[in-house]
């Protein structure tokens, strides 16, 4: 972001110099300097949105990973309980206490798979991980949308800066159109419209 601000400052300085030395062109250079300042402010806001989306993406990514790891541990524990129940059940001379133990182990294995009370069974965790994955992917796409807006705003600043040096007014108009469109796009992304 600091490079972008430096580019905007250079453009504003060039506009100031042109205004001092350019006579009639000074008014156009001042307007271009204001355009650059507006584009730089829009860029700063778009980059804030971009960083926010990136942070949310990483937060959801970690949550998805943790949830899947928790689900895997539940699956491993379920397998251990089922295996223990099968071993005890296969022992010769199984008494009532052994059968009770097998029943408890199978109940615990079933709870590892489906625990609607605590919401921590493998089935519930799989559903939670799917929701978190969807949130993560949404933030990933939002990040890339902001990235496109910041790129377009950077190009608009460069075009506006070059227009001051070259005194080609078409570049100023192109910078205004591109920057305005990019700022509007960033605003729509920020509000969740896009």
pLDDT per position as a tens digit, 55-64:
999 999 999 9
Q: How far apart are CA 132 and CA 64, in angstroms?
A: 6
Pull the structure tokens for residue 121. 């069974």
Q: What is the pLDDT of residues 21-49, one digit of tens each?
A: 554 455 678 899 999 999 999 999 999 99
Q: Is residue 166's pLDDT more than 60?
A: yes
Host domain of residue 151: 2-191
The confidence score (pLDDT) of residue 23 equals: 46
Domains contained in the chain, number: 1
Phi-psi region of 94 (alpha: psi -120 to 50; beta: other; left: phi over 0): beta
Q: What pLDDT score does 142 carry?
A: 96
Whole-model pTM: value is: 0.73
Taking alpha carbons only, the member of 178, 171, 187, 189 closest to residue 153 is 178
Q: Would you say the C-alpha torsion 171, 173, 177, 182 has a positive or negative sign?
A: positive
In eight-state DSSP terms, residue 24 is G
CB 161 within 8 A of CB 7: yes
């Amino acid at each position: 972001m600091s490079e972008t601000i430096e580019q905007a400052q250079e453009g504003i300085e060039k506009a100031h110099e042109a205004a001092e030395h350019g006579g009639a062109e000074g008014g156009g250079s001042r307007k271009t300097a204001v355009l650059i300042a507006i584009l730089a402010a829009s860029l700063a806001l778009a980059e804030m949105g971009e960083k926010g989306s990136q942070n949310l993406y990483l937060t959801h990514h970690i949550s998805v990973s943790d949830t899947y790891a928790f689900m895997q541990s539940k699956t491993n524990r379920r397998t251990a309980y089922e295996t223990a129940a099968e071993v005890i059940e296969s022992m010769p001379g199984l008494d009532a206490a052994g059968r009770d133990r097998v029943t408890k182990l199978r109940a615990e294995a079933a709870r590892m798979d489906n625990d609607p009370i605590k919401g921590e069974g493998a089935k519930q965790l799989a559903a939670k991980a799917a929701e978190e994955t969807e949130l993560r992917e949404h933030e990933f796409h939002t990040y890339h949308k902001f990235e496109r807006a910041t790129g377009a705003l950077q190009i608009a600043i460069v075009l506006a800066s070059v227009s001051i040096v070259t005194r080609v007014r078409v570049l100023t108009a192109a910078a205004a159109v591109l920057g305005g469109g990019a700022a509007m796009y960033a605003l729509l992304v920020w509000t969740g419209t896009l």
